Amino acid sequence: MTFGKRTIFGALFFLAGIVQTILLTVLPVEALRVMGDAWTVSIVYVGVGVAGFFGRLAIPSLTRWLRRVGVLRVGAVSLSLSALLLWSDTQAGLVLGLILFVFALACTEIVLNLYVLDHIARNEIGRFEARRIFLTSLPWTIGPWLGVYLQIAVARWVPFVISVTAMTALIICLRYSGFPEASTSLTVRRRSLNPLLYLYRFFAQPRLRLAWILAVGRSSWWGIYQVYVPIYAIQSGLGAQAGGAIVSIGIGWMWLVPLWGWLGERYGLRWLLMLGYASAGLVTIGAALLMGAPLVGATALVLAAFMTESIDGAGNSLYLRAVHPFERSEMTTVFVSYRDASQLIPPAICSALLAAFDLPAVFLAGGIMMLGMAGLTRYIPRRF
């Protein structure tokens, strides 16, 4: 990959990071304020996850009708409408705003992944994924805290305006990047646009299926961390800004992703993922048991985030190395649905747990899930 492409991709992923992270902690805090309790917030996120999944399946058709930059414009409009709805201070506005926010992120993620698949060689994917995550470290480190701070210290609307502005800048950057709409080498086109057919095609391939499940586990843990840590901070008396700071510090471990990526290349992604999932599971269970003391519990959660961040050294390499070039658009759409699954399954389980238990049960379940993912890493090919 040339220096010019590295610079462009760095700018694109940096801006995409701002779009998401500036609202990362703001949204669960807003949801708790409007809905009133953690159980209701979980139910809301279940509905958002279902809607997000079906909305994502429409994106391949949108890329054919509107082209990739057009899909990003649709995402920008959705993001703007999301901000307006979230300002309404109504339960219906909150739910619809979250759905549109998730759809906007899906548009951004799918389009950027398609450009990566077009312009990054397979033998460079592992190094690129570690570099990509490192390039987004700054927004992911300060964004969760900064969004809540700006909302409290300046005005409620500021984080939303920053997110929409970053999305607009991303579209402008991509529009003038010089990248073609699609790789000219991809001459084979799949005729069917039926989402059910490419869902079947995806999950019929064991390597794609494994990559998706492991991505669901990783993203689910981060979903629990990003949604329930702010709620834990508020309920334990630490406060909303402390919740944003805990999330920022935990995600801030991603500055070490180049190290994890190097270790993955040196010793194999299989071992990196196996140890990462196992250690994250054990420490998360420990954090759940220590939550009676707020500061100790918060420290343990940050340590659990450190263990989980090691998994990001592999990024999406398992998927990117397995997908066939002639079906990138369809398979990428299905693969990135791991985010929808991670926004649906954990809140569904957490809502059931919170109906009978206190908040630490959510993190206990997250730790057990990560241990299960560690077991699945045995099926990663040994050559990885």
Q: Cα dist. 306→41, 124, 223, 257 in Å? A: 26, 26, 15, 10
Nearest to 120, CA basis, from 136, 131, 134, 109: 131
Average pLDDT of the chain is 81
Model pLDDT, residue 188: 42
Instruction: Classify domain 3-179+192-379 at the CATH topology level.
Output: Growth Hormone; Chain: A; (1.20.1250)
Q: What is the average pLDDT across 165-175? A: 85
pTM score, whole prediction? 0.69
Among the residue ranges 66-75, 175-184, 237-246, the one predicted with the least confidence is: 175-184
Q: What is the average pLDDT across 51-80? A: 82
Q: Is 131 helix (H, G, I), strand (E, B) or coil?
A: helix
Reported as a single tens digit per residue, the pLDDT across 93-145 is 989 999 999 888 888 888 887 777 777 666 666 567 667 777 777 887 888 88
Model pLDDT, residue 281: 94
Please state the φ and ψ torsions of residue 184, each to the nearest 5 degrees.
-70, -15
Model pLDDT, residue 278: 94
In 172-212, the DSSP E strands lie at: none
Q: Is 178 helix (H, G, I), strand (E, B) or coil?
A: coil
Report which of residues 194 and 111 the model is more confident about: 111
CA dist., res. 364 & res. 283, Å (int): 10
